[in-house]
Amino acid sequence: MKRILWFRRDLRVEDNPILSLGGEVLPIFIFDTQILNALPKDDKRVSFIFDRVIKLKESLQDKGLDLKIFWGDPVEIFRVLEAQGFDEVVASGDYDAYAKERDIRVSHLLHFRYMYDTYIFKPEEILKDDGTPYLVFTPFYNKAKALFSKEHLREYTFGEHTLYKTSYEGITKIDDKEEILPLDIDSIGFRENLPRIDQLETKLKALKDNLSIYAKERDYLDKEVTSHLSIDLRFGTISIRSLLRFLVEQKNRGVDTEPFFRQLIFRDFYAYLLFHFPDLAWENYKYRFNGIEDEEKYSAFCEARTGVPVVDAGVRELLQTGLMHNRVRMICASFFTKDLLLPWQWGESFFAKYLLDYDAASNILSWQWSAGTGIDPQPYFRIFNPYLQSKKFDKEARYIKKWIPELRDVDAKKLHDESYLLNYSIEKYPKPIVVHKEASQYALAYFKQRL
Ligand SMILES: Cc1cc2nc3c(=O)[nH]c(=O)nc-3n(C[C@H](O)[C@H](O)[C@H](O)COP(=O)(O)OP(=O)(O)OC[C@H]3O[C@@H](n4cnc5c(N)ncnc54)[C@H](O)[C@@H]3O)c2cc1C
């Protein structure tokens, strides 16, 4: 068998299903111009991917293989490869609308073999008794636990391969003509801007220490209790099964791993929903709430000028690092869709532009959850009070002050006190652009009219 192994969301050698089949192989990675053309030239994710692709190439070389790196439109690249007599292309699943359509087009050129890797369950594995998909998380979770078996922990071993003979030098650009470019990020039109993130080993060591307090403390903004593994899961620099095996080990040591496992199932649930209901990417599942398009409010949010400290701190964290604590994502998304009454799609695309761990399913479904418009959403009338949230989860305002140093000398209590912020001026920091109670009452009336 002569196979093309197409790495996408699985940038690793360990426990990788596509490396388990063996045969004569051409491992490839494609810098997809359809995706890259829309991104700013200093996008941190491109730097991260570039760095991991080079590491993947080195790891494959250590195993006697290599990685041919392309730059261009995947369909055009496969048109070129098709002429070279391959039997099939092997890749792991990618569920967003663009990926699904691209894969279908590639499958018209070469036999396309999917290997499941990215999530714990296959999308058709968990269904209701009547064969339809679950719409509510808790029954999905219960069924997931009931169906969870050793197969979901399987470790894929490295197959017997021979490397397809071709040049593995540089980056192969496929355009009107074929061209070999130097192996650096400038060749694909980007500037290096690597995000500062811990090594995977460091994260796993910290997770081991934090698992027992994860459930109780993960919502606190100034505590580093969550795993920061979302970017690794997004790009497959960790195998989901190896993370599950790690959890089993911890469970066998007596640690309660269920709260963390539950979050991984949330990730699966969102991918599952987007797979079964692809229109959710742009359409509400429920209600006709569209929000009100208001460029001024939108700019204030995106430039961290809302005057609500926890919201502005979250947006600054996002802009500076590409990360945002989960609780702050929830607070920001609620403020955006309720207090500011802006369309959730605008917030979704703002997060999509900056999140290092951007994942279409998790982001879209979380925004729809916050807006109250998705499948299994929070009730539309549940509106977070951002001041009570920050008082509870950032009592000493350490998180707020870290990201908004202008507020360093303001007493923490005042930063959770809306009436203080509305009535007193703070040097170099704006007053709140909305009054929470009024804005939420207005939003509720607006929603009720459209029920
Ligand atoms: C508005 C909004 C947008 C979001 N956008 C994304 C996104 O684009 N990409 C993304 O990976 N997550 C997204 N999330 C979910 C969550 O915020 C992140 O997964 C989490 O903050 C990542 O940090 P961590 O790895 O330290 O998480 P941990 O708490 O350590 O959780 C472990 C893993 O479980 C998964 N997970 C945890 N919480 C959730 C959740 N609520 N939904 C789905 N998966 C979860 C992630 O893969 C995470 O890495 C979003 C949440 C909200 C409210």
DSSP 388-420: HHHHHHSTT-HHHHHH-GGGTTS-HHHHT-HHH
250 within a domain of the structure (yes/no): yes
Residue 90's nearest CA partner among 148, 141, 28 is 28
**Is the domain of 403 the same as that of 313?**
yes
**Is the domain of 127 the same as that of 235?**
yes
In the prediction, which pLDDT does 176 show? 80
**Is the domain of 101 the same as that of 131?**
no
Cα–Cα distances in Å, from 241 out to 117, 151, 185, 198, 357? 8, 9, 31, 21, 19
**Is the domain of 110 the same as that of 123?**
no
Region 48-65 average pLDDT: 97
In the prediction, which pLDDT does 419 show? 97
Q: Is the pLDDT of residue 127 over 90?
A: yes
Distance between CA atoms of residues 307 and 311, nearest Å:
8
For 216-244, how does the pLDDT look when each residue is reduced to its tens digit (9 = 90+)? 999 999 998 999 999 999 999 999 999 99
Residue 171's nearest CA partner among 75, 69, 72 is 69
**Is the domain of 260 the same as that of 407?**
no
CATH of the domain at 98: 3.40.50.620
Tell me the pLDDT band of 451, cut-offs 50, 70 and 90: confident
Mark which of 76, 101, 118 sits at the end of a domain: 118
Tokens 């130097």 appear where? Answer: 182
3-state secondary structure 76-124: HHHHHHHCCCCCEEEEECCCCHHHHHHHHHHHCCCEEEEECCCCCCCCC
**Is the domain of 123 the same as that of 113?**
no
Report CA(98)–ligand 1 centroid distance (Å). Answer: 22
Mark which of 65, 93, 118 sits at the end of a domain: 118
Nearest CA to ligand 1 atom 17: 326
CATH of the domain at 147: 1.25.40.80
In the prediction, which pLDDT does 173 show? 96
191 within a domain of the structure (yes/no): no
Count of domains forming the chain: 3
Q: Is 188 in the pocket of ligand 1 (CB under 6 A)?
A: no
DSSP designation for 39: S
Contact residues for 170 (Cβ-Cβ < 8 A; gap 6+): 69, 180, 181, 182, 183, 187
**Is the domain of 300 the same as that of 344?**
yes
In the prediction, which pLDDT does 149 show? 96
Nearest CA to ligand 1 atom 22: 230
Region 254-276 average pLDDT: 96
Report CA(423)–ligand 1 centroid distance (Å). Answer: 36
Domain of 220? 119-152+200-276
**Is the domain of 241 the same as that of 319?**
no
Distance between CA atoms of residues 16 and 169, nearest Å:
24
DSSP designation for 377: P
187 within a domain of the structure (yes/no): no
Q: Is 378 in the pocket of ligand 1 (CB under 6 A)?
A: no
Could you tell me the two tokens for 288? 């006709």
Nearest CA to ligand 1 atom 6: 363
142 within a domain of the structure (yes/no): yes
Report CA(320)–ligand 1 centroid distance (Å). Answer: 18
Distance between CA atoms of residues 399 and 418, nearest Å:
18
Region 186-194 average pLDDT: 96
Percent of the chain topping pLDDT 70: 100
Q: What angle do CA 314, 319, 321 make, to 5 degrees?
A: 90
**Is the domain of 232 the same as that of 318?**
no
**Best probe residue, ligand 1, of 217, 218, 263, 363 (max atoms within 8 Å of C-beta):** 263
For 376-434, how does the pLDDT look when each residue is reduced to its tens digit (9 = 90+)? 878 888 899 999 999 999 999 999 999 999 999 999 999 999 999 999 999 999 999 99
Tell me the pLDDT band of 175, cut-offs 50, 70 and 90: confident
163 within a domain of the structure (yes/no): no
Indicate which atom in ligand 1 lies nearest the CA of residue 358: 8
**Is the domain of 360 the same as that of 375?**
yes
- 349 Cα distance to chain centroid: 13
For 295-317, how does the pLDDT look when each residue is reduced to its tens digit (9 = 90+)? 999 999 999 999 999 999 999 99
The mean predicted confidence, pLDDT, of the chain is 95
Mark which of 118, 140, 169 sits at the end of a domain: 118
Q: Is 359 in the pocket of ligand 1 (CB under 6 A)?
A: yes
Nearest CA to ligand 1 atom 39: 263
In the prediction, which pLDDT does 242 show? 98
Indicate which atom in ligand 1 lies nearest the CA of residue 332: 1
Region 327-332 average pLDDT: 98
186 within a domain of the structure (yes/no): no
287 within a domain of the structure (yes/no): no
Region 22-49 average pLDDT: 96
